[in-house]
Amino acid sequence: MIVPCIDLMDGKVVQLVQGREKALEVESADEMIDRFSGFPEIQVIDLDAALGRGSNDDLVRHVASRAVTRVGGGVRSVERARTLLEQGARKVIVGTSAFTTTGINEPFLGALRDAVGTDKIILSLDSKGGRIVIKGWQEATNFTAEQVLRSLEPYCSGFLCTYVDKEGMMQGTDLDWFRRLRAATGLEITAAGGITTLDDVRALLAMNVRAALGMAIYTGRLSLAELRAEIR
């Protein structure tokens, strides 16, 4: 599966480099929803909620009313997850709250699983410099994605794995890392971060890894028509 991405900030669709520098901005979410028609699912990340400075709930609700969505950003409580699902998200993406600096936040993940079910949960494993990073990629843990994948399986239906080192940089991604992750779990994996070319996408799909695409689509580096042809 190919999953186009919509990142929200200040009521607009944006794309950031390395999660910090805004590279581009689109006024209308509807424009992107229309452009992404034909793809089975859209990934929506509320960056304001992730950064703890408000939310774009009305816009999230609107996007979810028009497309099948997986939604993340600021899911720090069971109540927040429930809210996103009530707003129309098919699944919620949980990142920082899934971890402490030393390991897995099992009490939270257990409560979340019991409240909404594993089929509604995607866990986000963001990796920079080989280590999982949390809190908007600002804080590094002391463990790798490969080390925790198996232990996280009871809490989710799949994983969103972002190669932060190349996020938004249009320089390609680390296919070997995704191969290692694919070998480490039988659950769904979605790859993100630096996916730039059709060859990148095809390589990921060939290893049964989904591709979440942002900057390469927004800049026109990847053609939506060609991407649609890959999923037919």
The pLDDT tens digits of the residues spanning 123-175 come to 999 888 888 887 776 777 788 899 999 999 999 999 999 987 766 556 678 89
Rounded to an integer, the average pLDDT of 194-214 is 95
Does pLDDT of 220 surpass 80?
yes
pLDDT of residue 168: 55
Type of residue found at 110? G
Among residues 158, 211, 224, the alpha carbon closest in space to that of 188 is found at 158
Q: How many domains does the chain have?
A: 1
48 part of the active site: no
**201/198 Cα distance (integer angstroms):** 5
The stretch 36-63 carries a mean pLDDT of 91
Q: What is the DSSP string of 82-115?
A: HHHHHTT-SEEEE-GGGB-SSSB-HHHHHHHHHH
Enumerate long-range contacts of 19-25, CB under 8 Å, 24 or more apart.
19/136, 19/137, 19/164, 19/167, 19/168, 23/168, 23/215, 24/218, 24/219
- CATH, residue 118: 3.20.20.70
Full domain range(s) for residue 190: 2-231
Give the pLDDT of residue 158: 97
| pTM strictly above 0.85 | yes
Catalytic entry in 7, 46, 48, 200: 7
Catalytic residue check, 30: no
pLDDT, residue 232, reads 73
> So what's the pLDDT on residue 148?
92
Average pLDDT over residues 179-187: 95
Query: Of these residues, 30, 34, 46, 126, which one is catalytic?
Result: 126
